[in-house]
Amino acid sequence: MSDYIYTVAGWLLFAAHTSLVVGVTFRVIMKRRPVGVSLAWLALIFAIPVLGAATYILFGEVRLGRKRAERARAMYRPHADWINVLVTRFPGQQFEVNDQVRPIYELVKARFNMPMLSGNGMTLLQQPANILSSLRMDIERARSSCYLEFYIWHEGGMADAIAHALMAAARRGVDCRVLLDSVGSADFFRSRWPARLKEAGVKVVEVLPVGAFRVLFERQDLRMHRKLVVIDDDVAYTGSMNLVDPACFKQDAGVGQWVDIMLRIRGPIVPIIWSLFVWDWEMETGERLLEQLEYHPISCLDNQLKLQLLPSGPFMGGDAISQSLLSAVYQARRRLVLITPYFVPDDPLVAALCSAADRGVEVQLLLPAKNDSRMVNHACNAFFDELLHAGVEIHLYSAGLLHTKCVLVDHQFGLVGTVNLDRRSFWLNFEMTLLIDDGQAMGELLQLADGYLADARPLSWLEWRKRPLRKRLLENLFYLLSPLL
């Protein structure tokens, strides 16, 4: 009798496993994603019994959560109408978009209803002390509002001075709100700071919270990766730097201090950036702030710096960020500089970079010599052979973990923001990028890139081919998994 029970139990388990694998396989096939992504998931599902299928159920599809998805759909039209009305208030916005920039500008306008606006002022901030000091002083001068949104807030050093400045601002009646990613700022939420900030009147919200129960309803690796500050609807910051003091952050990672930039911006683009914060606030909390701003254009800025905001993330614009990047690469005629800490591209981006090098463009890919993820490092290295053979220059920065993210095209335009050159940034993270159409600003950014290159070591194809077989095997293994990283 016991043998019969074991036999029946075995057949039931086999049937259950087969049904699970067949059902999940059907889901993968019907999603019609890029072939490489689908094949990577199918390989994982069939190679690892039960666990492979379970991993797909948890992480294979974009599930933002029912409430967030419903809010996002309901928010789109009011936000689009608000931006359309706002733009009519800006005088002197008749200008020509650079021919090289136009394809990206038109794509972003169609997908996001985001205008390109002239008459902005921009300061490039490179040193952490200068960035945090400038931010603190602007908060101390705030009269009406301070809105901050970051992936990571890490306590310690000059980051604590920002917290004190926010608490002081809230106590004098300034509306202070902070959005922080649940995973990136996990240590911060376990610290004493959230309670202290809330006690002082600062509204602190944990974005995309994770938990065992939420696994059933929401994908847990969708992250809010934006870095954004708007103060008094007058000054905005964005770039690659989290709210951390590099002297206190990840000191045991063995990669040196993180190297970042932030852009301090004034002008007509500021309320557009403000609208992105209030979009995220409403999506997470349900509270609408959109109608609170009655913006009056700044008249003191008479320069011609043209900026366009490109937000991206799940359910936002589809593949717009990926297509914008590809357009930038194909528009390059003389020099193309790509700076990123994490490089796990898809096949179209690799083909575009090789094509640019083949047609005589000086393509310079600038990466940190070490980063804080071994898996990503191995997957990144798997692309080097093809790129180097095509003539793409790869430079490894050794003066810290180069965390700046930008793409610079000729002396004409650039994409600067929070997007890494990897599939996670393209498809899963909530990100933001500024399209910059201005020769003077590009001169500053190219000078920044040249400074990084001076502290980097060029990698030769012959040198790369001599690496040990063990490393090649690891790289090719993680190359197969790169669509899932």
Catalytic residues: 225, 227, 232, 403, 405, 410
Element housing 141 (H / E) = none
Q: How is residue 430 annotated by DSSP?
A: B
First to last CA, the chain: 48
DSSP string computed for 266-335: ESTHHHHHHHHHHHHHHHHH----GGG------SS----EEEEEEEEBTTBSTTHHHHHHHHHHHH-SSE
Contact yes or no for 388/464 (Cβ under 8 A):
yes
Helix or strand (DSSP H, E) at 450: helix 439-454
Tokens 């509306």 found at: 175
Q: Which phi and psi (to 5°) does residue 235 adopt? A: -125, 135
- Enter the tokens of residue 342: 């994490």
- Residue 151 vs residues 179, 206, 340, 429, 459: alpha-carbon distances, Å: 8, 10, 17, 10, 32
Strand partners, 417: 433
Sign of CA dihedral 115, 121, 126, 130: negative
Element (H, E) at 405: none
CA distances from 425 to 420, 466, 471 (A): 6, 32, 26
Q: Cα(388)–Cα(464) distance, rounded to whole angstroms? A: 9
Distances (CA, A) of 347 to 8, 328, 336, 351, 423: 47, 16, 18, 6, 11
Residue 258: name the closest of 461, 56, 405 by CA.
405
Calculate ∠ Cα 284-290-295, nearest 5°: 140
